[in-house]
Amino acid sequence: MTRTQDMQLEGKVAIVTGASAGIGTATAKALAEGGAKLLLVARREDRLKALQQEIGVGTQILSIDLAEHAAAQSVLDHAEKTFGTVDILVNNAGILRTSHHDDFDLAELDRMIAINYSAVVRSSIIAARLMKARGTGQIVNISSIGAGIAAAGTGVYGGLKAALERFTEVLRVELAGSGVRVGIVAPGTTSTEIFSEMKAKGEPGWDEYIPAMQPEEIARAVRFMCEQTGNANAARLHIYATSETF
């Protein structure tokens, strides 16, 4: 990958979870273009290796299931062992399961909670402690505009994103004055693999109803948040597709 001349993240070390596809892949590329070194985290090692090869020097990978209780600590430990520090954490990994309560598969519930909420909370807390001790850092949690939408079939997903936003906002307050920035990027409808489970069941993905955004458009917002300096903290960015009316 050819990096741009605008290297505001030069020397920074960033962890990106869910890096094997969609917004995670685009975010990894955007941060690398800004000069950051990367630890790419996801389960699909083959995809991580391909992205590592594309981005090039300064990129490491870790294949791990973030639903495991010990995964968050393992990710942070791996980054510190490999790079010596962690400057940026982007908690992007997430899964979407939608269904009316009549049809919702309760077997999916625990994994949704583990990936969309618990893993993010664990990673954020561990990173916050490390960053606070150093007096600097950036945590970005990827939410969704669905956190504020009450639509049939979205109760679990939207509820978890709403809980994540409340946790993230409180963490920002707790870290005020510490030098650690905390923010939420909440995308609207973005064309990624997150809708693949819906499509596999013969249902249209949400990205088929309107002209959806592309992952790169969300990645630009993440990079913008990470490039804040001085006393600025871009704490909440909602990115809507131009056709969305929520």
> 240: Cβ–Cβ under 8 A, 6 or more apart, which residues?
145, 188, 246
209 is catalytic: no
Options 117, 157, 209, 240, the catalytic residue: 157
Which phi and psi (to 5°) does residue 130 adopt? Answer: -65, -45
* Residues designated catalytic: 157
